[in-house]
Structure 1
């Protein structure tokens, strides 16, 4: 009998797992293609295959309880990004801007719900405060993929999201204090939970220093990759279990565990090992949320859901924009920040469930407000796109940034102070050369200012701006910006206007190099060419080749590549010209011939 039950349970697990993962993959691909994001794809997939939809799978609540580990892992990875020094540097934004955002948005939305929906003030508070939180799972990946997570704008958004995540503990405490469920009355009072929180955090920090760090060193010395996975998951689950036993936020425990490891030399190893589990379980979390949505209740009140979703986005965007301005942020970036964080968040689903268990709201209300959060999330991809444009927008007259006319006249002008331009400018300044740096990305200029590097705002391809920067007296003009469309039509007038300057251009690829080949440029460098050659040299050293043999290979490769480029130019820019000269499996040099050539002194 027990065997039959086990077989039946296994069958159910496999069949439901196949259906859930298949639906999730299909809808995520579809939603990604339309630019709507993976989160909405999972939510819709769960709603369709769940008990309220096609009823292909059941047990949404049980799956939701398991999948909440995905939220825990997300907070752990957030903690890994924050070493204590960075956390301290962002304290004003985290505990100032973040605190005010949670309070102002939560209370404003509570007021809207209380005044216009007929809910009691306790129910309105249990619904409004969670709506003040935004979606970490949507916003953070977007900031990371666009490279803005470490920009001043990204750090403001990150600080607000971090405080929102930290605020889950007091929000759960508030809901517990308002609870009408007799079972909750036996729980610890709020002041006791606060003491538990402080004690648990101190205990986790001490455990990280005196237990976890030595354990990681031991695992690192053993060199067992599987042990890193085990230790990483053990750290997350043990921290979450400790918090859960104290009736505290498991997500907060995981976050503290991440911060403990943020300075560890094994941080990247653990992050890479935990990330796949986080991705799968977070996807399962959103699938489970979709499964427990009461679709019938939503369809019965479509105007209510749409109206409150619009109000949610508008109220949060307006309040966050106002707070950003109060903290000295430019109104464009403030509005961009407001739009970026205007949606409801995934922790709202968790808190709505808490409010339902506390008998503050009915299950239908939890489904309605979960649908409102979901609909607000659907606006995020579009608002993020608009926010990114606002973030990098600058007044046309450049009134809020210094132009290059304020710079001292330098020997060299470096146009574009990104990762490429920084190296060129640093080397020139190390040689004693006076350098004027120009960039047209406000975010890049702000980041450079934090390192005490003065970069001037402007479009360095305009002749009038170059004149104001002192190009008529400059000996070098280096175009280091990342612009694959920078062509001879733009460069030729600059060369004619400033004939005394040696012109250097960073070329994006062979096509751009061919485009500029007919101009008398002092130097052009393909942006990854030299670094790739350097890695090739290191790889051949690892194979045991002598420096003489490697140098000969490098010379032959450079000569062949130069000849192929000449043929492509002669063919009018035909990228396929000379392709027979490329090395491949059928056409490669004989290593013995290379060594013999070197030994013969060729």
Structure 2
């Protein structure tokens, strides 16, 4: 038995590693890779996993830890402030979606009980995927559309409880029994809520204060896991969702000084278990049953996405949310959720639905969840595509005195701290400028203060044309994302090939790519910060200021070549594509048996290995940029610069030939 479980886990792990590597090459989210791994390893494909139900409990812990992490983002006062969205928007969304789908199913000829079950299953959205995708985006959980989505998802997690109670009773009948069971569930919910709030407020801070004084990383991590799982266990004991208990525990610790450490400690366990959860979702898909009713699957998925999106959008408009936030929230919440699989199994067990309907629902869930990462990641872009005409007219009216036909002006793309600093200096020099930003709150506050800033996505050609990109003298891009900056530079060069474009980046990781697409100047913050520090150090060390400025200008002309490469330490981030984007410095000591002894640098021709010799130490003296005709001697130390894989090849060549 143990050998079988070990073998199955090993095969599942291998499938996951392969799929993630494959999907990574196409820049697809790991969630899709986990789903694909589950489908491949599941009973209806290769059959590596004989019984997926064995892994359900462990996989459910991923959702528990995810909700614990989400709770850390929300304080109790913040949740109270969001009560209208949670109880209002959330409850109306669940009820309205349930009723619409229920009536549609009843019209197709399903019994009323089956129609209710299908409506309840499809009314829920994916807490796991939506929150995971939002947490990976900058301010994804903090902006308005993110808060709307989270509020609805929180109520949906609460709504799971009455559904779990109702399904078994529906198979037996009896309105009184349903009412009594729901009333008891409400009492239990209030009791467990008060209990966890009390523990979180008075006990947990003291526990973590003691743990913190012990200064043991292992003890802190174990305590964090214990608290999250205990909170989930308490709510499960009361017949409620484990995820709800974990959320309450995280929320209680969200205001503590340990918040960020807790989040960092829980992340590795959460991500691994969430991956296992998504593989179990993929295992549920019956490929053969889906193939037989493939046309119904596609129609059902499209119908579900449209119905839920329209319901969410309509509700958001009723409560007077912005159209952009309403559409974005609708896009993010239009899929079926992970709890839908639990309810599908329960409905099938209680004979509320047939096995064919259950297979179709599972297929709808897998397909809709598979496209959700794309929808969430591109919610702003899709919203802009759907509502762009309205957005343009809506925000143009908010900029009094803005002139669209001006020329020889500066356009600032991104009005964060850097963009605002640039704008202040331009204003002081009476240089005309206009700024673009996609944060409506920032734009509104800046406009009230008299700033010339306009709401719009700088990746949209119509927005750039609206601010006279074709007659601008200079465009400054201050975005945090270098990949987005590349897209904007390409678009600007298409619209105005003569425009000068200055791009701000955090480092020089994408410097060459930005230059290739047309950036006139790239300003890496970290390297420029280093140069400013060098300026002060050299000046305080007595170096003439003229010589210092000459050196700094030379570095900028050479694209910071002197500053490229560093000696890596233990904690250097080498994950993903970053490993081959960095250049390392490496010192190689050449002993008597080394292949390079007696040869010149020209003969060794390290440039063919894409490695560069930047220094040579001999007899405790350093020779910078040694000439190619210098001959290598015993005990010489060569300092080479190259990407990690090239460093290893160059060292092996110098030592072994």
Which TM class, normalised by the smaller chain length? 0.7 to 0.9
Unpaired stretches in structure 1, ≥5 consecutive residues: 1-8, 496-503, 519-523, 541-545, 569-574, 594-602
Q: Distance in 2 between matches of 1:123 and 1:557?
A: 79
Q: Distance in 2 between matches of 1:464 and 1:233?
A: 52
Which range is displaced more, 281-290 or 354-363? Answer: 354-363
Aligned residues: 545
Q: Tell which has more relative contact order, 1 or 2 (C-alpha 8 A, sep 6+).
A: 1
Partner-residue secondary structure (3-state), 1:391? helix
Render the CA deviation track for 1:479-508: whole Å, top value 9, x for unaligned: 46435639899999999xxxxxxxx96644
Give the TM-score normalised by structure 2.
Answer: 0.69
Cα 1:54–1:489 shift into 2, 3 Å: closer
Cα 1:490–1:559 shift into 2, 3 Å: farther
Partner-residue secondary structure (3-state), 1:30? helix
Post-superposition shift, 1:300?
3.5
Partner-residue secondary structure (3-state), 2:343? helix
**Correspondences of 1:40-59 after superposition (within 5 Å):** 40-59=32-51
Partner-residue secondary structure (3-state), 1:360? coil
Equivalent position of 1:308 in the other structure: 300
1:318 aligns with 2:310: yes
Q: Distance in 1 between matches of 2:300 and 2:16?
A: 27
Post-superposition shift, 1:558?
7.0
Post-superposition shift, 1:400?
1.0
Cα 1:447–1:204 shift into 2, 3 Å: farther
Give the TM-score normalised by structure 1.
Answer: 0.75
Equivalent position of 1:440 in the other structure: 436
1:400 aligns with 2:394: yes
Q: Distance in 2 between matches of 1:32 and 1:181?
A: 50
Alignment check: 8 A CA contact 2:130 2:373 kept: no
Alignment check: 8 A CA contact 1:313 1:343 kept: yes
Of 85, 101, 109, the residue aligned with 1:109 is: 101
Equivalent position of 2:369 in the other structure: 377
1:221 aligns with 2:217: no
Q: Distance in 1 between matches of 2:273 and 2:30?
A: 13
Q: Distance in 2 between matches of 1:68 and 1:319?
A: 29
Equivalent position of 2:152 in the other structure: 160
**Correspondences of 1:251-270 after superposition (within 5 Å):** 251-270=243-262
Q: Distance in 2 between matches of 1:536 and 1:112?
A: 70
Equivalent position of 2:71 in the other structure: 79
Post-superposition shift, 1:414?
8.4
Which range is displaced more, 211-220 or 161-170? Answer: 161-170
Q: Distance in 2 between matches of 1:279 and 1:419?
A: 31
Alignment check: 8 A CA contact 1:404 1:465 kept: no
Alpha-carbon RMSD across the aligned residues, in angstroms, is: 4.7
Render the CA deviation track for 1:391-417: whole Å, top value 9, x for unaligned: 3454388321256852699xx998345
Partner-residue secondary structure (3-state), 1:189? helix
Render the CA deviation track for 1:330-384: whole Å, top value 9, x for unaligned: 5455334323321111111122223234443345543331111112223335544
Post-superposition shift, 1:536?
8.8
Post-superposition shift, 1:143?
3.0
Cα 1:537–1:296 shift into 2, 3 Å: farther
Of 99, 124, 127, the residue aligned with 2:118 is: 127
Partner-residue secondary structure (3-state), 1:167? helix
Q: Distance in 2 between matches of 1:335 and 1:242?
A: 37
1:173 aligns with 2:165: yes
Unpaired stretches in structure 2, ≥5 consecutive residues: 404-408, 480-484, 567-582, 588-613, 622-657
